[in-house]
Amino acid sequence: MPKPILFAIDDDVSVLEAVVGDLRRKYGEHYRILRAASGQAALDTMIQLKDRKESVALLLSDQRMPGMTGVEMLQRAIGIYPDAKRILLTAYADTEAAIRAINSAKIHYYLNKPWDPPEEKLYPVLDDLLENWNEGYQPPYRGVQVIGTRWGALDHGVRDFLSRNRVQYRWISPEVGDEAEVLLEQHHLDGARLPAVIFGDGTVMVRPSQMELAEKLGMRTRATEEFYDLIVIGAGPAGLASAVYGASEGLRTLILESDAPGGQAGSSSKIENYLGFPGGISGEELGKRAFLQAARLGAEIVTQRAECLRCEGQYRVIKLGDGREVSSSAVVIATGVSWVRLPVKGADRLLGAGVYYGAALAEAMSCKDEDVYVVGGANSAGQAAMYFAKYARSVRMILRGDGLAKSMSRYLIDQIEATDTIQVETNAEIIEMMGDTHLEQVRIQTATGEEIRPASSVFIFIGAAPKTAWLPDDVERDDRGFVLAGPDVRDRKAFTREPYLLETSVPGIFVAGDVRHGSVKRVASAVGEGSIAIQFVHQYLAGF
């Protein structure tokens, strides 16, 4: 963050150097000291500083300068930096003019030359003025800014990617205030082509992809090597556990993750039944800690999507989303699951414009004082309902069944029942989403008939679909796409032994976590499977 500026102006070089020296000795640690040898030069510099959004805290100008007096310069400076403190430096002969300028140029103080010693005659005055200036000073925001509408699918995707990767950003909507319009004009952007992402260095990306954002934000998007001992696909709890144990036990380990660390669990606002965290922990925080732990132990983590997997002898080759390939001796598939789509009219059309799958925590603040609907009755839905209840006017949980007890942990049920703003509606389902540019109403089938209700946000948690379409056919899956492993493998022709417990139908390719057939859909079990898989990786590698 650039320091605020103290600006000294004087045409006498010796006086200017003395002023700058005194300012730097006292204030150089917290302020940047600039100088100019004329009033016009000072005004030109201030215009440039304003364009760069830099802050000027104080102007200290001599009165007698050729071409433009100090009073005239300070008067004109008000239009550029109206909040800057203005001090006139005068000779005794100019004292009367300085007093008159207090009103005409709105000068805050005047000082007579000489000002020695500065500890008595200069610093006490500046200390008071700077203290007053700092009370109203808000440093300009230098981080990532996103200009985009609330109801655009691309806009939501950008904000969700940044949120899940723990990138701090400001969201500026053209629908609220005129700040977005000012920024669009300043950066010569078309308001019809959003979202636009403005970075602290002044660069702009319009409608960026996740990979473009990742590269700009400094995330690693390319593997440093062509071959690894172990490649882990997916950085959810299972994948991160595999990476932690693989790297800590000496395996050259690569993790591939196309979205954000933490997987589906990363969007959980609070996990309260994970061992060792009596106060609970957010899925985002758990994912971050595991990510850092894996990196510290030597795992290489790359933001990339695995496109396909093939075997070449004893090597397992993965083609990445950017067209490159990496290979390894062993692979752990830990891609987790995605939410099942709700097959009702309007849901696909309004995706990202009021209809969301998963918690979509980036939307929470937008739901303030609104009525939110949560579809589903498992733990993820309960955690989301509790989170959105902090912001929304009300949260309605829509369940097709007759209660939460069959699918939700007791601690969550108790919390929901104790939250006045959450209402659970059983034997009900949303059968239509309605709205033009964004969700405005939902049609709900209840035990007593159909109802149309106003709604701006619906968050859907209705089951898990495995992310396995990219896998080759010889990696066996069940009829829902979950990967078979160990005793569940049907075709064992590729083996001269029994498959290891978490080994798929292809030797050297293992599976862990929610993507595995028959897995327990809990964070703790995913972490356990990811850890155990490394034991079988070692046994497999020992047989080479």
Residue 445, pLDDT > 90, answer yes
37 and 129 share one domain: yes
333 and 473 share one domain: yes
pTM higher than 0.85: no
Q: How is residue 318 written in tokens?
A: 């993965």
67 alpha-carbon distance from chain centroid: 52
453 and 469 share one domain: no
Question: What's residue 97's pLDDT?
Answer: 67
Give how many domains the chain has, as a whole number.
Answer: 4
396 and 274 share one domain: no
13 and 131 share one domain: yes
Average pLDDT over the chain, rounded to an integer:
92
**Which residue, of 216, 243, 263, is where some domain finishes?**
216
Check residues 136 and 374 and name the one with the higher pLDDT: 374
Kindly give, in sequence order, each residue whose CB lies less than 8 Å from that of residue 444, ignoring residues fewer than 6 positions away: 398, 425, 428, 429, 430, 431, 450, 451, 452, 453
473 and 527 share one domain: yes
pLDDT tens per residue, range 244-260: 999 999 999 999 999 88
- Domain assignment of residue 362, given as a range: 355-460
In a domain, 70, yes or no: yes
In a domain, 183, yes or no: yes
322 and 388 share one domain: no
CATH number at residue 104: 3.40.50.2300
131 and 20 share one domain: yes
Alpha carbon distance 190, 169 (integer Å): 21
In a domain, 350, yes or no: no
CATH number at residue 192: 3.40.30.10
Which helix (DSSP H) or strand (DSSP E) does residue 229 occupy?
strand 227-233
CATH number at residue 387: 3.50.50.60
**Which residue, of 108, 135, 162, is where some domain finishes?**
135
Kindly give, in sequence order, each residue whose CB lies less than 8 Å from that of residue 343, ignoring residues fewer than 6 positions away: none
Burial of 29 (0-12, 13-18, 19+ CB in 10 A): exposed
In a domain, 343, yes or no: no
CB 358 within 8 A of CB 339: yes
94 pLDDT tier (thresholds 50, 70, 90)? low
Amino acid at site 423: Q
Would you call 333 helix, strand, or coil by DSSP? strand
425 pLDDT tier (thresholds 50, 70, 90)? very high
Over range 524-539, report the average pLDDT: 96
318 and 366 share one domain: no
**Which residue, of 187, 216, 245, is where some domain finishes?**
216
429 and 494 share one domain: no
Residue 92, pLDDT > 70, answer no
Share of the chain above pLDDT 70, in %: 98
Which helix (DSSP H) or strand (DSSP E) does residue 243 occupy?
helix 237-248
Question: What's residue 294's pLDDT?
Answer: 96
